[in-house]
C-alpha cells in the first residue's frame, strides 16, 4: 500500500538512486505530518531537490519558499514559537552556515525546529567537490540532536519512520539537525512508502532533581520576577502571587503584565535610590529568563536575596545568585505576606509612576518610549508583537505599561532576524506587528523579498535614528570624542528606509505624531511605518521620564 505519495509501477527500474531519494524523503515528510508538523520553510537549491519535492507534494503542509537562508531560519523560528517545529530546508554548502544564528537563538530559547540540510554523499566530501563543506555537527551544542543520515539508496527503508519520529521528538525541546546526503540523480519517483509504525514515542529525558523550598526562603518581603520563555501557565503565576501577596515584576514576553499584582514601571522605580532601598526583597522567585532591565538585576544582586528559579529555558543564573532550581509546585511551602501592606505599597508606587509617565510623555515631542507605549496600547488583542532586542524591547518593558506584550529573541540577544521572526508569526496566520530600529531593519531587509506576494498581515514599524541608539546609553558615549563614538558605535549609515521598502513593493509611510502611528499600526499589512527620532534626544527623553517617576515617589 502506498502511504502519502503516488506509486509508479516501474518506479524502481531505471532510476534506483533517484527513486530511493524520493521515497526516503516522502517517508520522512509523511511521518512528520503524522506527528503534527504543518509548516516547512525552504531556501532554493539543487542538492535539496528530493526533500523539497516531498514537502511541496503534501497539501497538509504550508511550504514557504524564502530566498535568503538566514531569513528562512528565522522564519522557521517564528513559526516554531507555537511549540510545533517547522521543517527548515537548504541545499549543501554555506547555505547551512547561514542558518546558524537562528539555530543558536532557537537552542537558547527552547524553540522547536527541524533543520534539514542537504549534503553531498560521503565519497564527494573532502575532495574539493563544489558547494561542499563539512556539515557534520555544524551547529554543535545549539541543537538537541545531530544525525548524519545514510544515503537513501544504501539505507534500510524500515529505518526511515523511526528516524523521523526521533527527529520530531527531539525537536520538541529545541532545534535538531538532520544532515541528508543525496547522490545524483536528484529527481525520482517515490515508491511504496514503509507502513506507519504506530504512535511516536517520546525521547527519554532525565528528570531534574529539584531541591525542596525549605523554611529559610519563607519570607514576607518577596517579589516574583516573570520573564520570557517560561513554561508555567500565566494564570498559575497569578494565583501564586495572590496567595503570597507579592508583587510581580513582569517583562512583556511573560504574559503576566495585566495581573492585578503586576508592577509595570519597575525599572523607573528602582532607579530612585530611596525607593530601591526601602523595597529591597528578602527572597526572589523568578520564572523563565531575566527581564532586560539591568537596573532590576543589579538591585536583586545588591539585596543579597536568594533567587528561586522556576524553569528555563536552559540554566538561568546570570548573576550566580540562584539558590534553588525548582518547579512551581515546590513553592507550595511558602506562606508569603498576605494581609501585610507589602504588595499595596508596590501597587501604590506603580500607580503613581504610570501616571507620571503618561503626563511626561504628553508634554514631550514624539519619543521612542512614546512609540513603544503607543503601540502597546493600540494593538488589537489578536495582533502579535515582535520587538528587537535592543532599545525597542527595553522601551516596551520600561514604558509600555500593563498592555505591553511581545516576543523578543532574547536567547542570544541579537538584532538579526527580527523581521524574519515576525514574518514567521504572520505566516502562521496571525496579524503581526514588529517594532525595530533602522539598523535591525537594514540588517534583515531580505525579509522584504517577495513580501507583497505572501498576502500576510505584517506591520513593520521602524524607528529611524540613523544608527545604533542603544550605545548612546553606555559609558562609551561620554568616554570618547563624538567623532570616535559615531565611527565605532553610532555608525550612521544613511539608508533611505522608505526607498528600501518601496523597492520591494511594500507600502511605506513616515509618521510624525503618535496619533498617526496609532492609526498606522491598526491597518492591515504588509506595510512599513517609519518614525524619525534623534539618538541624543532619546537619552534626554529617558532621563525626563525617570526623573518624573522619582519625583512622585518623594
What was the pLDDT predicted at 124? 87
What was the pLDDT predicted at 197? 86
What was the pLDDT predicted at 203? 46
What was the pLDDT predicted at 393? 96
Q: Measured between alpha carbons, how far is 317 from 331 in angstroms, rounded to an integer?
A: 19
Question: What are the CA-CA distances from residue 451 to residues 44, 379, 459 (Å)?
Answer: 16, 22, 11
Q: Measured between alpha carbons, how far is 502 from 495 in angstroms, rounded to an integer?
A: 13
What was the pLDDT predicted at 215? 82
Select from 101, 39, 52 the least CA-distant residue to 73: 101
What was the pLDDT predicted at 200? 59
What was the pLDDT predicted at 402? 96
What was the pLDDT predicted at 204? 42
Using a 10 angstrom Cβ sphere, with 0-12 exposed, 13-18 middle and 19 or more buried, the burial of residue 158 is exposed
In sequence order, what are the residues at sequence separation of 6 or more whose Cβ sits closer than 8 angstroms to the Cβ of residue 458?
422, 423, 426, 432, 433, 434, 451, 525, 526, 527
At 518, list the grid cell: 496609532
Question: What are the CA-CA distances from residue 405 to residues 248, 362, 462, 511, 528 (Å)?
Answer: 15, 22, 18, 23, 20
Q: Which tens digit of pLDDT belongs to each residue from 430-465?
A: 999 999 999 999 999 999 999 999 989 999 999 999
Phi/psi class of residue 320: alpha, beta or left (left: φ > 0; alpha: ψ in -120 to 50)? Answer: left
Q: Which tens digit of pLDDT belongs to each residue from 338-382?
A: 989 999 999 999 999 999 999 999 999 999 999 999 999 999 999
Is 1 a residue whose pLDDT tops 80? Answer: no
Is 74 a residue whose pLDDT tops 70? Answer: yes
What was the pLDDT predicted at 206? 37
Is 496 a residue whose pLDDT tops 70? Answer: yes
Measured in whole angstroms, how far is the alpha carbon of residue 383 from the centre of its chain? 16
Residue spans of alpha helices (H) in 389-448: 391-399, 418-427, 438-443
State the residue for C-alpha cell 521543517.
87
What was the pLDDT predicted at 216? 86
Q: Measured between alpha carbons, how far is 22 from 197 in angstroms, rounded to an integer?
A: 20
DSSP class of residue 475? T
User: b or e along 315-331 (b: 16 or more beta carbons within 10 Å of the residue's beta carbon)?
Assistant: ebeeeebbbbbbebebb
Using a 10 angstrom Cβ sphere, with 0-12 exposed, 13-18 middle and 19 or more buried, the burial of residue 274 is exposed
Q: Which tens digit of pLDDT belongs to each residue from 251-279?
A: 999 999 999 999 999 999 999 999 999 99
Q: Measured between alpha carbons, how far is 462 from 261 in angstroms, rounded to an integer?
A: 33
Strand extents, DSSP E, 203-250: 222-226, 248-250
Is 314 a residue whose pLDDT tops 90? Answer: no
In sequence order, what are the residues at sequence separation of 6 or more whose Cβ sits closer than 8 angstroms to the Cβ of residue 161?
27, 31, 194, 196, 197
DSSP class of residue 490? I
Is 199 a residue whose pLDDT tops 70? Answer: no
**Rounded (10°) CA dihedral 158, 167, 71, 408:** 160
Residues in a beta bridge with 463: 437, 531
- Assign 3-state DSSP to the chain and report helix, strand, coil percentages, each to 5: 45, 15, 40
Could you tell me the pLDDT band of residue 9, with boundaries at 50, 70 and 90? very low
Helix (H) or strand (E) holding 201: none
In sequence order, what are the residues at sequence separation of 6 or more whose Cβ sits closer than 8 angstroms to the Cβ of residue 375?
385, 396, 433, 435, 461, 517, 521
Select from 127, 110, 220, 237 the least CA-distant residue to 176: 110
Tell if the pTM clears 0.85, that is, is over it.
yes
Q: Measured between alpha carbons, how far is 552 from 29 in angstroms, rounded to an integer?
A: 60
Residues 90-98 have a mean pLDDT of 97
What was the pLDDT predicted at 464? 97
Is 406 a residue whose pLDDT tops 70? Answer: yes
Q: Measured between alpha carbons, how far is 135 from 96 in angstroms, rounded to an integer?
A: 8
Task: Kindly report which listed range (81-90, 159-168, 210-219, 373-382) carries the lowest average pLDDT score.
Answer: 210-219
Report the chain's mean pLDDT, rounded to a whole number: 93
Q: Are 175 and 106 in contact (CB under 8 A)?
A: yes
Select from 179, 167, 69 the least CA-distant residue to 113: 167
Q: Are 368 and 517 in contact (CB under 8 A)?
A: no
Q: Measured between alpha carbons, how far is 440 from 417 in angstroms, rounded to an integer?
A: 8
What was the pLDDT predicted at 5? 41
What was the pLDDT predicted at 346? 97
Q: Which tens digit of pLDDT belongs to each residue from 501-515?
A: 999 999 999 999 999
At 320, list the grid cell: 550566580
Three-state secondary structure call for residue 317: coil
What was the pLDDT predicted at 49? 97
Write down all domains in the chain, each with its CATH number in brackets: 16-181 (3.40.50.970), 215-341 (3.40.50.1220), 364-552 (3.40.50.970)
DSSP class of residue 127? T
Is 207 a residue whose pLDDT tops 50? Answer: no
Give me the percent of the chain exceeding a pLDDT of 90: 88
Residues 44-65 have a mean pLDDT of 97
Q: Measured between alpha carbons, how far is 440 from 250 in angstroms, rounded to an integer?
A: 25
Is 386 a residue whose pLDDT tops 70? Answer: yes
Q: Measured between alpha carbons, how far is 391 from 5 in angstroms, rounded to an integer?
A: 49
Amino acid at each position: 500500500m502506498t502511504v502519502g505519495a503516488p506509486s509508479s509501477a516501474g518506479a524502481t527500474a531505471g532510476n534506483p538512486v533517484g527513486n530511493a531519494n524520493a521515497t526516503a524523503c516522502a517517508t520522512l515528510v509523511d511521518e512528520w505530518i503524522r506527528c503534527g508538523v504543518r509548516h516547512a520553510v525552504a531556501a532554493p537549491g539543487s542538492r535539496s531537490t528530493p526533500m523539497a519535492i516531498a514537502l511541496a507534494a503534501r497539501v497538509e503542509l504550508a511550504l514557504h519558499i524564502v530566498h535568503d537562508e538566514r531569513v528562512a531560519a528565522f522564519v522557521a523560528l517564528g513559526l516554531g514559537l507555537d511549540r510545533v517545529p517547522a521543517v527548515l530546508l537548504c541545499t549543501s554548502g554555506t547555505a547551512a552556515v547561514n542558518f546558524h544564528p537562528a539555530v543558536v537563538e532557537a537552542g537558547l530559547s527552547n524553540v522547536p525546529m527541524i533543520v534539514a540540510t542537504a549534503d553531498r554523499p560521503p565519497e564527494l566530501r573532502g575532495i574539493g567537490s563544489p558547494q561542499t563543506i563539512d556539515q557534520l555537527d555544524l551547529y554543535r551544542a545549539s541543537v538537541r540532536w545531530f544525525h548524519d543520515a545514510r544515503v537513501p539508496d544504501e539505507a534500510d527503508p524500515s529505518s526511515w519512520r523511526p528516524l523521523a519520529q526521533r527527529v520530531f521528538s527531539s525537536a520538541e525541546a529545541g532545534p535538531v539537525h538532520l544532515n541528508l546526503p543525496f547522490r545524483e540523480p536528484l529527481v525520482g519517483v517515490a515508491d511504496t512508502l514503509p507502513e506507519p509504525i504506530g504512535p511516536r514515542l517520546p525521547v527519554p529525558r532525565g528528570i531534574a532533581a529539584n531541591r525542596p523550598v525549605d523554611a529559610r526562603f519563607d519570607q514576607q518581603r518577596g517579589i516574583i520576577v516573570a520573564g520570557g520563555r517560561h513554561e508555567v501557565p500565566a494564570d498559575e503565576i497569578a494565583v501564586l502571587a495572590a496567595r503570597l501577596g507579592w508583587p510581580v515584576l513582569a517583562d512583556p514576553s511573560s504574559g503576566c503584565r495585566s495581573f492585578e499584582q503586576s508592577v509595570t514601571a519597575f525599572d523607573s522605580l528602582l532607579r530612585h535610590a530611596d525607593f530601591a532601598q526601602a523595597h529591597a526583597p528578602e527572597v526572589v522567585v523568578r520564572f523563565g529568563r531575566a527581564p532586560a532591565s539591568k537596573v532590576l538585576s543589579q538591585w536583586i544582586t545588591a539585596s543579597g536575596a536568594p533567587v528561586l528559579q522556576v524553569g528555563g529555558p536552559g540554566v538561568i543564573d546570570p548573576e550566580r545568585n540562584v539558590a534553588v532550581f525548582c518547579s512551581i509546585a515546590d513553592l507550595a511551602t511558602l506562606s508569603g505576606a498576605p494581609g501585610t501592606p507589602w504588595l499595596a505599597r508596590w501597587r501604590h508606587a506603580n500607580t503613581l509612576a504610570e501616571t507620571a509617565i503618561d503626563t511626561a510623555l504628553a508634554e514631550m515631542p514624539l519619543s521612542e518610549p512614546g512609540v513603544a507605549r503607543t503601540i502597546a496600547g493600540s494593538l488589537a488583542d489578536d495582533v502579535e508583537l515582535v520587538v528587537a532586542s535592543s532599545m525597542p524591547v527595553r522601551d516596551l518593558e520600561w514604558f509600555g505599561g500593563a498592555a505591553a506584550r511581545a516576543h523578543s529573541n532574547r536567547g542570544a540577544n541579537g538584532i538579526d532576524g527580527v523581521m524574519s521572526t515576525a514574518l514567521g508569526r504572520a505566516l502562521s496566520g496571525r496579524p503581526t506587528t514588529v517594532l525595530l530600529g533602522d539598523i535591525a531593519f537594514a540588517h534583515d531587509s531580505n525579509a522584504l523579498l517577495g513580501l507583497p506576494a505572501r498576502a500576510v498581515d505584517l506591520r513593520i514599524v521602524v524607528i529611524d535614528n540613523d544608527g545604533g541608539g542603544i550605545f548612546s546609553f553606555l559609558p562609551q558615549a561620554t568616554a570618547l570624542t563624538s567623532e570616535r563614538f559615531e565611527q565605532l558605535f553610532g555608525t550612521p549609515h544613511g539608508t533611505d528606509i522608505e526607498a528600501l521598502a518601496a523597492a520591494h513593493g511594500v507600502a511605506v509611510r513616515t509618521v510624525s505624531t503618535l496619533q498617526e502611528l496609532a492609526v498606522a499600526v491598526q491597518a492591515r499589512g504588509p506595510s512599513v511605518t517609519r518614525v524619525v527620532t534623534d539618538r541624543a534626544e532619546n537619552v534626554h527623553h529617558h532621563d525626563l521620564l525617570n526623573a518624573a517617576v522619582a519625583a512622585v515617589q518623594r
